[in-house]
Amino acid sequence: MSTIAQKLFAENKSKLLGDSTLSDYLNDNFLMEEVDHSTANAIFVILDPDHPQYENQLDNMEQAYSGHSLHGPDTNAGFNPEGEVSRILVFPESVDVGSSEVEMIQTNDPSFIKKVLPDILYDSYLINQSPGILEC
């Protein structure tokens, strides 16, 4: 992945969260008590909303991988001439990505988000560099 998502997150953090930390914002707006904020991981992503698998892969991300999605601003990062969308995705520390056998993966592993959103992901940035979103 490139540094484009990292740059866009830095530019839009106050628009996304206001003066709140990510943890406080999630608690105040999404009642996400079921996610352990001390070990969760948050990923800022740039996605292709025009891809035919867009809705399907987002639904799967939420249902199969316990992901939570916060809408971000539309972007024009150059991946798609029509523009892209951004989101903050929050996941538990590890999830099962196996199709027939248990295959646990850490959600801060760069291969995780590529596996979950293989067709619609342009770029991503792991917001928290260590487990936990309490200080993000």
Domain boundary assignment for the chain: 4-126
Write the DSSP symbol of residue 116: H
CA 107 to chain centre: 10
Q: Compute CA 17 distance to the chain's CA centroid, rounded to the nearest angstrom.
A: 14
Band the pLDDT of 110: cuts 50, 70, 90.
confident
- Residue 13, pLDDT score: 86
| Residues 107, 109: Cα–Cα separation, whole Å | 5
- Tell me which of 100 and 116 has the higher pLDDT: 116
Residue type present at position 43: I
DSSP string, 2-61: -SHHHHHHHHHHHHHHTTS-HHHHHHHHH--TTS-TTT-EEEEEEE-TTSTTHHHHHHHH
Please tell me what DSSP assigns to residue 135: T
d(CA 70, CA 31): 12
Give the three-state DSSP class for 113.
helix
pTM: 0.88
pLDDT in tens, 52-94: 999 999 999 988 888 888 888 888 899 999 889 999 999 888 8
pLDDT in the model for residue 45: 96
Say yes or no to pLDDT of 96 above 90: no
Per-residue burial over 82-113, b = 16 or more CB atoms within 10 Å of its CB, e = otherwise = eebbbbbbbbbbbbebeeeeeeebebbeeebb
Q: What is the pLDDT of residue 52?
A: 97
Give the chain's radius of gyration (CA, Å): 14
pLDDT in tens, 18-49: 887 777 777 776 655 666 767 888 899 999 99
Beta 121-126 vs 94-96: how paired, if at all? unpaired
